[in-house]
Amino acid sequence: MRLISQLSLLLTGTFAALCVQAGEVKVYVAASLTNAVTEIANLYQKQYPKTKVVPVYAASSTLAKQIVAGAPSDIFFSADQDWMSYLLQKQEVSTQYVKPLLRNQLVLISPKNLNIKVQTNSHFAFAQAFSGKLCTGQMESVPVGKYAKQSLIKLNWLNSLQGRIVGTDDVRAALTFVERGECNVGIVYKTDALVSHKVKIIGVLPDNSHDAVIYPVALTKAGEQNPEAQQFYRFMSHSVQALAIFQHYGFSINR
C-alpha cells in the first residue's frame, strides 16, 4: 500500500512537471482581434519557445458563456465591456486584472464592385441607398451587433431596415458575407474592413451614435494561478512590440 502511495505521488509529480514544461496559455479572444493576436502569439512563442499560446477566436458573448460553463481559459479579451462585466459578476475574473486596452471604430462596408453612396446622418434615407441585405453581428448579444443596433436607432435607420438585417455569430462572419456579396452592406469594425481586400469602407458611424468601442483584457481565475499566463498577459497588454502590432491593424491604444 505504501509503495502504491509513493508511486502515485511520483506520477503526480511527474505529471505536474510535464504540465509546467508544456507551458500552455489558453486565450479566449474576440473574433475581430484574430489577425493581431495571432501575430502577437507567434512573436511571443519565438521569444519564449517553451510556452505554447493557444488562442480561441469567437464572439465575446460565446466565449464569456463558455468560460462560465467551465471551459478552461487563462485570458479573456473582449470586444466590449458588457461581457467583461458579465464575467466580473460571475466572479470568473477579478477587477484588478481587467485592463481596457484598445479602441476601435464602427464602419459601413460594401463589396468593392458596388458603388453605394452613404451619408451618416438621420436625414439620409439609408435603406433606399442599397438593395439586398445588411450584415452585422447578432444585435442582442454579439458586441458589433449591439453597437450597430445603437447606431441604427440613433440615426433613425433601424425601422426602415426591418426584414433586411442578417445577424451573424461574430464580426468575421459578417465580413465574410459582404466579401461574398451575400450582403451588399455590412456594419463591422474598422480593423476588420482593413484586413479584407474584397470590401471597402463606405462610411464611418459617428462615435456619438453608439457606446465607445473598448476592448478590455483580463486574466481569468485560472490565469491568475498560471505564471506563464501572467507573463503573456503583461506582454500582450504592455510591451511596445504587442502595442505596435495592435496599431498596425488599426486599433488605437486606450489611454
- 251 vs 255: CA distance, rounded Å: 12
Tell me: is residue 32 an annotated ligand-binding position: yes
* Number of Cα atoms under 13 Å in the Cβ half of residue 89: 8
Tell me: is residue 141 an annotated ligand-binding position: no
Closest CA to 174 of 59, 38, 35: 59
Helices (H), the chain: 2-22, 34-47, 60-68, 81-89, 143-154, 171-179, 190-194, 221-224, 227-238, 240-248
- 255 vs 249: CA distance, rounded Å: 18
One-character DSSP codes across 98-153:
EEEEEE--EEEEEETT-------STTS-GGGS--S-EEEE-TTTSHHHHHHHHHHH
CB 83 within 8 A of CB 143: yes
Tell me: is residue 60 an annotated ligand-binding position: yes
Q: Annotated binding site, which residues?
A: 32, 60, 171, 189
Q: Annotated binding site for molybdate, which residues?
A: 32, 60, 171, 189
